[in-house]
Amino acid sequence: ASEAEEHDVVVIGGGPGGYVAAIKAAQEGLKTACVEKRGALGGTCLNVGCIPSKSLLNNSHIYHQILHDVKNLGDVKLNLTQMMKAKEQSVSGLTKGIEYLFKKNGVDYVKGTGTITGEHEIKVNPLEDGDPQILRAKNIIIATGSEATPFPGLEIDETRIVTSTGAIALTKVPEKMVVIGGGIIGLEMGSVWSRLGSEVTVVEYLGAIGGPGMDAEMAKTMQRILQKQGMKFKLNTKVMGGDVESDNIKINVESAKGGKSETIDADVVLVAIGRRPYTAGLGLENVGIEVDERGRIVIDQEYRTKIPHIRVIGDVTFGAMLAHKAEEEGIAAVEYIKKGYGHVNYGAIPSVMYTHPEAAWVGQTEQEVKATGKAYNIGSFPFSANSRAKTNLDTEGMVKFITDKETDRILGIHIIGPNAGEMIAEGVLAMEYGASSEDIGRTSHAHPTLSEAFKEAAMAAFSKPIHS
Ligand code: FAD
Ligand code: NAI
């Protein structure tokens, strides 16, 4: 090994958690290195997650919209190769952008696999042949992310039995696709291939789609909308296994309550039953850092493991597996190191599902509020009564506010609708400031915009909306 290099902070993992932490640390004047083994920065999100999936969602939506909704505008023909090229362009532009930001801020980008070999020592095995490099660090931030949870008995080959990584890179539109798991990945990637012509069947173990955290009323509404678009759903259904034949895959399913079983044919199967923390090769055992029963690295409220100068952020530890959550934690962890305090408001982290229409939410679901026993108000407003949505011929969905009946403080906001992912930002800000629905209902929103539906749902929570 070459001679050890001393840093104030070494970040292991260059995803949204890790690269943001590294840039922030360098901005704070700390000598910082970021170790990444993928050969590109940006982690799961930029390389095989958020960004490529949104590129495909956007382009497949445009294709589908022209094909089905506005036929009279002209013919359209799918060029899948071009669609994939556009995706690759977005990914490479953004990952190179982070490399530029590293240079600009003076972060050392160390390419290789990092293993913790001592409380202050990381050994980096380079991507290509060569000697390992030893880094010494006053502080270590682990941000190694997550990987797809495999389905026992179905071996992933990323061409026919795929995770999201294979599903963003198929070379032809499958005739029939079975999606195991009706969570966010299943619905986003299922939407992409359904729009491009696949017959998509989503098999979900629970009685509702959307994964953990979606408001029950919203999940039902979303299912109805996606069904109208052609997706099929088998809820309360267990996948028992599959037979992979040379030209067909047979997926055997059974009612979750037992009994009725059937076989569904597919040429591609997407396994989307959740993600799990990724710590392989990290060397946690070398320093005795613990993981819980789900593989998440155990930390305290300041992101510290039991070795206080080793902190953990993002998908590899507790909380929602979201890029922006990892980023907030990256900044907070560095602030703890530099200043001794940091903060993330876990009650105001938005979730967005980028189907069409999008689903977005922040705060508590109605079922969660109900379970607390607190008296609450609901204010909702449909996009079918919003002038801009009507003008755009895009009227599916609604905005729903849940407020404290006594104080009118907002407890949760749930949106299904065009651009819901942008609109939720106003709700997140409102919750950060502890706003009431009246605060929003009395705030002027431009006309004609979709955001007027947001305002009117707020009005519905404390008074009455005007337009419905
Ligand atoms: P990651 O992004 O997983 O990054 C960890 C990095 O660490 C990886 O690049 C890995 O190579 C590297 N690494 C691991 N071990 C080592 C080691 N020992 N040495 C060196 N490097 C190592 N979230 C959203 O908020 N919005 C979305 O729209 C969204 N879409 C998604 C779509 C898909 C298909 C998927 C799979 C995920 C999506 N997510 C989305 C989730 C998001 O990608 C993750 O929450 C986010 O990437 C987590 O960031 P992270 O920094 O914790 O980990
Ligand atoms: P998920 O947790 O969202 O959904 C998994 C679904 O699979 C759940 O509905 C679950 O009940 C179901 N399931 C589990 N085991 C099953 C089984 N054996 N048979 C049938 N169904 C089963 O996980 P998903 O969709 O894999 O995504 C992983 C994570 O990635 C998400 O939780 C999210 O944090 C992140 N992500 C975020 C996106 C976004 O923000 N837009 C997009 C894609 C992923």
Torsion over CA of 34, 90, 420 and 386, rounded to 10 degrees? 160
226 CB under 6 A from ligand 2?
no
Q: Among 20, 36, 41, 44, which is best to mutate for testing ligand 1, by the most ligand atoms less than 8 A from CB?
A: 44
pTM of the model: 0.97
**How far apart, in whole angstroms, are the C-alpha atoms of residue 425 and residue 120?**
40
Q: Is 323 assigned a ligand-binding role in the annotation? A: yes
ipTM: 0.99
Per-residue model confidence (pLDDT) at position 1: 46
Q: Which of 165, 215, 167 is nearest to 190 (CA)?
A: 167
What is the tally of helices (H) and strands (E) in the chain? 14, 21
Q: Which atom of ligand 1 is nearest to the CA of 114?
A: 19
How far is CA 279 from each of CA 114, 145, 287, 378, rounded to the nearest angstrom? 11, 8, 13, 43
pLDDT value of residue 76: 85
315 assigned to a ligand binding site:
yes
- Residue 452, judged by CB atoms within 10 A of its CB (0-12, 13-18, 19+), counts as buried
Supply the residue whose CA is at minimum distance from atom 2 of ligand 2: 274
Q: Is the peptide bond before 132 cis (omega within 30 degrees of 0)?
A: no
Ligand nearest to the CA of 140: 1
Q: Which of 11, 19, 45 to mutate to test the pocket of ligand 1 (most atoms within 8 A of CB)?
A: 45
Minimum-distance ligand to the CA of 253? 2
With both helix axes pointing from N to C terminus, report the angle between 80-105 and 50-64 in degrees, rounded to the nearest 10: 150
Cα(146) to ligand 1 centroid in Å equals: 6
CA atoms within 13 A on the CB side of 216: 7
205 lines ligand 2 (CB under 6 A): yes
Q: Is the CB of 181 under 6 A from ligand 2?
A: yes
pLDDT at 260: 87
Report whether 324 belongs to an annotated binding site: yes
Ligand that lies nearest to the alpha carbon of residue 328, given by its number in the listed order: 1
Which atom of ligand 1 lies at the shortest distance from residue 17's CA? Answer: 51
> DSSP assignment, residue 297?
B
CA of residue 81 relative to chain centroid, distance: 25
State yes or no: cis peptide before 448, omega within 30 of 0: yes
- 144 known member of a binding site: yes
CA–centroid distance, 144 to ligand 2, in Å, is: 19
Q: Is the C-beta atom of 272 inside 6 A of ligand 2?
A: yes
423 is in an annotated binding site: no
- The residue whose CA is least distant from atom 35 of ligand 2 is 321
pLDDT at 195: 97
Walk along the chain (468 residues) and give the pLDDT tens digit of each residue.
456 779 999 999 999 999 999 999 999 999 999 999 999 999 999 999 999 999 999 999 999 988 887 766 777 899 999 999 999 999 999 999 999 999 999 999 999 999 999 999 999 999 988 999 999 999 999 999 999 999 999 999 999 999 999 999 999 999 999 999 999 999 999 999 999 999 999 999 999 999 989 999 999 999 999 999 999 999 999 999 999 999 999 999 999 988 889 999 999 999 999 999 999 999 999 999 999 999 999 999 999 999 999 999 999 999 999 999 999 999 999 999 999 999 999 999 999 999 999 999 999 999 999 999 999 999 999 999 999 999 999 999 999 999 999 999 999 999 999 999 999 999 999 999 999 999 999 999 999 999 999 999 999 999 999 999
Catalytic choice (61, 309, 445, 447) = 447
Report the distance separating Cα 317 and Cα 297, nearest Å. 5
Establish whether 447 is a catalytic residue: yes
Q: How far apart are CA 1 and CA 48, in angstroms?
A: 32
Tokens 């982070």 correspond to: 98
Ligand 2 atom index nearest CA of 272: 26
Rounded-to-integer distance, Cα 419 and Cα 451, Å: 10
- Phi/psi at 361 (5° precision): -155, 160
